[in-house]
Amino acid sequence: MAVVSKLEGRRSRGIVWVCDLQSSSKYLNNNESAEALEKFLQRFLFLSIVFVEAAGGRFIKWTGDGFLAWFETPLLRDAGTIVGEVFNAAWQMSLYVNVSQLGITAPVKFKIRHAMTMEHDALVIDLSYSENNSTDLLGRAVVLAFRLRMPVNS
């Protein structure tokens, strides 16, 4: 049984970056592309963490075929600078994926899609249980970001 040693929620403001793979369900359900997609997703997870942290953000969680990242923005006047860093990271990640396909040979070209929103009233939840730590992020603009993902074509 899990033993919860910490469960804390706090309010915060920041930039939400959501990114995922376009048409991943279709590729997973196709015997010709499933194995390549699985390899791609493993490399994409690693790459995602690197790009988020390089842009000054916090990698919140892997969402199966994508991720949720958080860029806390205590001062509203800093939002423009932080947004610029997030957009730059998303652009660079898209370029890298489009050009290299992360070294995966596949019958299809994998594409990622992004969304960014400003969350003014996020609930950041920190949880520690049975030697595990996790953070989650809730808010209206977080949900909006998941609905706004747009493809970035090569």
Which pLDDT score is estimated for 104? 95
What pLDDT score does 74 carry? 93
The per-residue pLDDT for 132 is: 86
Low pLDDT (below 50) residues in the chain? 154
Residue 76 CA to residue 121 CA, distance in Å, equals: 13
Q: What tokens appear for 33 in the block? A: 């592309």
In sequence order, what are the residues at sequence separation of 6 or more whose Cβ sits closer than 8 angstroms to the Cβ of residue 138? 122, 123, 125
pLDDT for the residue 151: 54
For the chain, which residues make up each domain, given as ranges? 4-151
pTM of the model: 0.90
* Superfamily of 4-151 according to CATH: Nucleotide cyclase, GGDEF domain (3.30.70.1230)
Q: CA-CA distance, 149 to 146, in Å (whole number)?
A: 6
